Amino acid sequence: MQDQKVVVITGASSGIGLAAAEQAAARGSQVVLTGRTERRLTAAVDRVRAAGHGREPGRFLADFERLAEVRKLAEHLLDTYPRIDVLVNNAGMHVPSHRLTEDGNEATVQANHLGHFLLSTLLRDRLRGGRIINTSVRPAPNARIDPDHLNTPAERYHSVPVYQMTKAANVLFAMEAARRWPDILSLSFHPGLVRTNIGEGTAFAYVFRYAPFLISPQRSAAGLTPLITGPAAGLRNGGLYAGGRPLRLRQTIFNPDVAARVWSASEDAVRQPG
């Protein structure tokens, strides 16, 4: 039985996002893809159309390093879709050296967390009764986050810890969304170590393209798609999932106090009350 859900997936022009879009379309969902480049997004739309047996997917170009483009994306979605059943906050990047966006935020935290925080907040009312799923990672044992200052200054910037911090912020965002927005099922998803284009043009990208232990985007998405299209029964609001099972999180970082502070810092960074 096909589910006919409206599913918005950011970062869907390649990797996990594209694979999940194809799988959701094959299950009957109306999929909306976002991406940063016209060429890749067009190719992705063709693949998702084929997977959905000719159903035309939605599409929108948006660079999450520009909050104005995130706002335009939200406006387009609100104008186009009377309901949105699932928002998959999947777009992400690894930035090798410190740089600021035009909005004044460090680029990694804006692309990986703040842009999705803003989009989710703008779509909040349209998502009532639906789901928000953040692509995150299983937190590293040494993961750290300053819940009051999400923007790392240049003198303390190291790309891998900052990337890990943004992924922790994704998990904390879902936790706090579950508390503030109980009428939306908010989850995080650990994709595993996946062969993707993240960090393209850097040494970091080489690892995520050629390391022999990596899994395919299709295999990773097979763990994400049930969170998108499957029943909500048994899913824990605010939880981080891997392989269909919730992961245990360290309470020293992943607790209600830190989650609330990350939310407040995110509001300040995007100037969007939630």
Q: Do 269 and 186 contact (CB within 8 A), yes or no?
A: no
Residues with catalytic function: 163
Digit-coded pLDDT (tens) for 79-125: 999 999 999 999 999 999 999 999 999 999 999 999 999 999 999 99
Each domain of the chain, given as residue ranges in start order, spans 6-270
User: Which residue in 220, 160, 214 sits closest to 189, CA to CA?
Assistant: 220
Handedness of CA 16, 224, 101, 38 (dihedral sign): positive
Indicate if the pLDDT at residue 208 is higher than 60. no
Tell me how far apart the alpha carbons of residues 235 and 167 are, in angstroms, rounded to a whole number.
20
Indicate if the pLDDT at residue 262 is higher than 70. yes
Tell me how far apart the alpha carbons of residues 123 and 210 are, in angstroms, rounded to a whole number.
37
User: Which residue in 222, 227, 248 sits closest to 138, CA to CA?
Assistant: 248
Digit-coded pLDDT (tens) for 41-83: 999 999 999 999 999 999 999 999 999 999 999 999 999 999 9
6-270 CATH, one of 3.40.50.720, 3.30.465.10, 3.90.1150.10, 3.40.50.300: 3.40.50.720
Contacts 24+ apart (CB under 8 A), 246-250: 247/138, 247/190, 249/139, 249/171, 250/139
Does pTM top 0.75 for this prediction? yes
What pLDDT score was predicted for residue 153? Answer: 96
